[in-house]
Structure 1
Amino acid sequence: MITVKQVIVAPLNLFLKTLGVDVLHFWALLSAKLKIDFRRPPNSFQSAGKKQTLIKQLFIYAFLGAMVVFSLYRISDMMLQFSVFFTFLIVFEGTILLTEFTGVLFDENENQILLPRPVSSRTLLLVRLVHILVYMSYIAITLSLPFAIYLAINHGLLSVAFIIGVLLCAWFTLILAVGFYMSLSKFVSAERFKDVLNYFQIALAVVIMASYQLVPHFMEGANVESLMFKQAWWAYLLPSAWFAGLTKVIGGLAVSSDWVYAATALCVSLLGSVLLIRKLSSGFTSIISESGTGIQREVKPVEIKSAKGWKNKLLSILCISEVEQTGWRLTMSHIRGDRKLKQQVYPMFAYSLIMVVAFLKPEINDFSAYIQELATSSKYLLFVLTGFFGTLGVGVIPFTDTPKASWIYEMAATNKKYHIQSGAVKAMLFTFFLPLQLLYLIPIIWIWGFAVLPYVFLGSGLSVVLAILLVRIQNNPLPFSQGREMVNKGEYTLRMFLGMLMVGVIIGLVYLVSLAHMGVGIGLCVVMPLFISLSYRTIRNR
Structure 2
Amino acid sequence: MQDYRTLKILDRFEKVFSNLGVDYKVMRRILQVKLTMDGRRVPTIFSQNSGKQVKETTNQYIKSLWIYVFFGLFLIPFILLGNHYLFQMSIFYGIFTIFIMTSLISDFSSVLLDIRDRNILYPKPVDRRTISTAKMVHVFIYLSFLTIALAGIPLIVGFIRHGFLFFILSFVNIIFIDLLIVILTAFIYMFILQFFDGEKLKDIINYVQIGLSLGIMVGYQLLIRSFDLFNFTITFQAKWWQLFIFPMWYGANTELVMNGNIQPLFILLTVLSVLIPLISIWVYIKLNPTFEQNLQKLTYHGKAKERKQSMINRFILKVLCPTKEERSFFRFASLMMKNERDFKLKVYPSLGFSIVIPFLFFINGINNDFEQLSKGNSYFSIYFSLIIIPTIIVLLKFSGKYKGAWIYKAAPIQQLKPMFSAVIKAFLFKLYLPVYLFLSVLFIWIFGVRILPDLLVVFINACIYAVLCFMMLPKTIPFSESFDYYNQNNKTAILLGLMVIVAVFAGLHYISTLIHFGIYLYLVIAIVGLALLWKAAFNISWENIEG
Tell me the TM-score range normalised by the shorter chain.
Answer: 0.7 to 0.9
Task: State how 1:97-136 maps to structure 2 within 5 Å.
Answer: 97-98=104-105, 101-108=108-115, 113-114=120-121, 116-119=123-126, 121-136=128-143
Tell whether the 8 Å contact from 1:391 to 1:428 is kept in structure 2 after alignment. no
Task: State how 1:359-398 maps to structure 2 within 5 Å.
Answer: 359-361=361-363, 362-363=365-366, 367-372=370-375, 374=376, 377=377, 379-389=378-388, 393-394=392-393, 397=396
Tell whether the 8 Å contact from 1:398 to 1:481 is kept in structure 2 after alignment. yes
Tell me, in whole angstroms, the C-alpha distance in 1 between the residues paired with 2:320 and 2:108. Answer: 36
Structure 1 residue 62 displacement after superposition: 4.5
Q: Which of 273, 290, 295 is the aligned partner of 2:301?
A: 295
Percent identical residues: 23
Task: State how 1:336-351 maps to structure 2 within 5 Å.
Answer: 336-338=338-340, 341-342=343-344, 345-346=347-348, 350-351=352-353
Which residue matches 2:515? Answer: none
Task: State how 1:200-219 maps to structure 2 within 5 Å.
Answer: 200-217=208-225, 219=227
For structure 2, the 5+ residue unaligned runs are: 513-517
Which residue matches 2:40? Answer: 39
Tell whether the 8 Å contact from 2:76 to 2:154 is kept in structure 1 after alignment. yes
Task: State how 1:28-427 maps to structure 2 within 5 Å.
Answer: 28-40=29-41, 44=47, 46-47=49-50, 48=52, 54=61, 58-70=65-77, 73-98=80-105, 101-108=108-115, 113-114=120-121, 116-119=123-126, 121-144=128-151, 147-148=154-155, 150-151=157-158, 154-155=161-162, 161=168, 162=170, 165-186=173-194, 193-217=201-225, 219=227, 221-227=229-235, 239-241=246-248, 243-244=250-251, 255=260, 268-269=276-277, 272-276=280-284, 278-292=285-299, 294-298=300-304, 310-311=315-316, 313-314=318-319, 316-317=321-322, 322=325, 326-338=328-340, 341-342=343-344, 345-346=347-348, 350-361=352-363, 362-363=365-366, 367-372=370-375, 374=376, 377=377, 379-389=378-388, 393-394=392-393, 397=396, 402-409=401-408, 423-427=422-426
Deviations 1:183-232 (A, max 9, x none): 553455678644554454455544433222355246455455444798x9
Tell whether the 8 Å contact from 1:457 to 1:525 is kept in structure 2 after alignment. no
Deviations 1:433-457 (A, max 9, x none): 1233344445368365366458635
Tell me, in whole angstroms, the C-alpha distance in 1 between the residues paired with 2:82 and 2:270. Answer: 22
Tell me, in whole angstroms, the C-alpha distance in 1 between the residues paired with 2:121 and 2:417. Answer: 37
For structure 1, the 5+ residue unaligned runs are: none
TM-score normalised over the length of structure 1: 0.72
Task: State how 1:371-520 maps to structure 2 within 5 Å.
Answer: 371-372=374-375, 374=376, 377=377, 379-389=378-388, 393-394=392-393, 397=396, 402-409=401-408, 423-441=422-440, 443=443, 446=448, 449=451, 452=454, 456-457=458-459, 459-461=461-463, 463-465=465-467, 468=470, 472-473=473-474, 478-479=478-479, 481-482=481-482, 505-514=500-509, 516=511, 518=518
Structure 1 residue 291 displacement after superposition: 0.9
Tell me, in whole angstroms, the C-alpha distance in 2 between the residues paired with 1:70 and 1:360. Answer: 25
Structure 1 residue 431 displacement after superposition: 0.4
Q: CA RMSD in A?
A: 5.1
Give the number of the structure with larger relative contact order, counting CA–CA contacts within 8 Å between residues 6 or more apart.
1
Q: What secondary structure is seen at the aligned counterpart in 2 of 1:76?
A: coil
Tell me, in whole angstroms, the C-alpha distance in 2 between the residues paired with 1:134 and 1:5. Answer: 8
Deviations 1:32-73 (A, max 9, x none): 222222224788465457669657854544454444545664
Tell whether the 8 Å contact from 1:98 to 1:201 is kept in structure 2 after alignment. yes
Deviations 1:266-309 (A, max 9, x none): 66545543442x322113443333212x2344498x99xxxx95
Tell me, in whole angstroms, the C-alpha distance in 2 between the residues paired with 1:220 and 1:536. Answer: 51
Structure 1 residue 86 displacement after superposition: 1.0
Tell whether the 8 Å contact from 1:165 to 1:244 is kept in structure 2 after alignment. no
Number of aligned residue pairs: 516
The residue type paired with residue 102 of structure 1 is S
Tell me, in whole angstroms, the C-alpha distance in 1 between the residues paired with 2:462 and 2:172. Answer: 44
Tell me, in whole angstroms, the C-alpha distance in 2 between the residues paired with 1:59 and 1:526. Answer: 46
Tell whether the 8 Å contact from 2:417 to 2:539 is kept in structure 1 after alignment. no
Q: What secondary structure is seen at the aligned counterpart in 1 of 2:479?
A: coil
The residue type paired with residue 301 of structure 2 is I
Tell me, in whole angstroms, the C-alpha distance in 2 between the residues paired with 1:122 and 1:535. Answer: 58
The residue type paired with residue 428 of structure 2 is L
Tell me, in whole angstroms, the C-alpha distance in 2 between the residues paired with 1:223 and 1:120. Answer: 61
Q: In structure 2, do the counterparts of structure 1 residues 363 and 9 end up closer, same or farther at CA, with 3 Å as the change threshold?
A: closer
Tell whether the 8 Å contact from 1:77 to 1:227 is kept in structure 2 after alignment. no
Structure 1 residue 529 displacement after superposition: 4.9
